[in-house]
Amino acid sequence: MSDDFFPELRNILDAQWIVIADACALFAGWCPLGDFDGGSFGGPNTVRQYKRVATGEIAVPSEKDFAEMRMFQDKWIESDFDIQLKEPHILYGDGVSHACSVTDAFKVGLGWRDERIDNLYDAAVEANIIADAFPIRRSHSVSIGVTGVTATGEVGQAEIPEPRLQFYLRDKEPKKPIVKLLYRFLKEVHGAGRPKPTAHDFIMWVHVTDPTEPFITIESVGGKVIKYFENSAPDEILEYKRSTISTAIADLTTEK
């Protein structure tokens, strides 16, 4: 754990749970201070104190800053990912008042392709504040600063231990492009020595990594379905549902 993260930021990242509204504030570049006690008319709490993630200085977010917090809150509410919430639920009239794990918050946030979220996540991983939830995530070079600490290098290229074979892939590779993408994911998980993944794991991987596969384009990712189209027919949206993914995983793998 790095002492270069200011205490409030380090504490909120090092905790097991985070209020979704607080995560959305972090994603917008602001660290909320004190305990969450509800938002302002269903949006970010405009009377709460905040510190800038980039500088550690107490400042008052602008209207634009609060609008970005609300934008992330709206994105979260519109999503339907199967994220475990802390019980008992703390609710102040909106879905972002619940708490989820810090890891799950970043799993959702990383898929929004925002550099601020990527930078904060990568710096926290390199500082050993949070564990990397996606060690097989697409690697990229980073050189970032979070209140004095600079993380540099290839993120996602950590040393991979000798694989512990938790499951095996069947020899016959599928021909359908969307299933080939699933097979590629299973090969990466298998090669990393990780346990057999679930349909939810695959959906979150697609959400976070934005993978490409010849002949298809991913349109959107939700908690229960991946929507895509074949490049030869872009007007026809197809669905890869979680139940179908689960069946495909069972068909593509074996325990021995």
Do residues 237 and 228 touch, judged by C-beta distance below 8 A? yes
- Helix (H, G, I), strand (E, B), or coil: what is residue 214? coil
Whether the pLDDT of residue 128 is over 60: the answer is yes
- Report the percent of the chain where pLDDT is more than 90: 54
Note the pLDDT of residue 217.
Answer: 95
Note the pLDDT of residue 172.
Answer: 85
Whether the pLDDT of residue 111 is over 90: the answer is no
Phi-psi region of 131 (alpha: psi -120 to 50; beta: other; left: phi over 0): beta
Query: Stretch 156-183: mean pLDDT, rounded?
Result: 76
- Give every CB contact of residue 87 below 8 A, 6+ residues apart in sequence: none
Whether the pLDDT of residue 189 is over 50: the answer is yes
Note the pLDDT of residue 105.
Answer: 94
Question: What are the domain boundaries of the chain?
Answer: 7-155, 168-254
Give per-residue pLDDT as tens, 5-57. Answer: 999 999 999 999 999 999 999 999 999 999 887 766 567 888 899 999 999 99
The phi and psi torsions of 255 (rounded to 5 degrees) equal -85, -15
Q: How far apart are the first and last CA of the chain?
A: 40
The Cα–Cα gap between 152 and 172 comes to: 40
The Cα–Cα gap between 250 and 244 comes to: 10
Do residues 76 and 207 touch, judged by C-beta distance below 8 A? no
Longest dimension (CA), the chain: 59
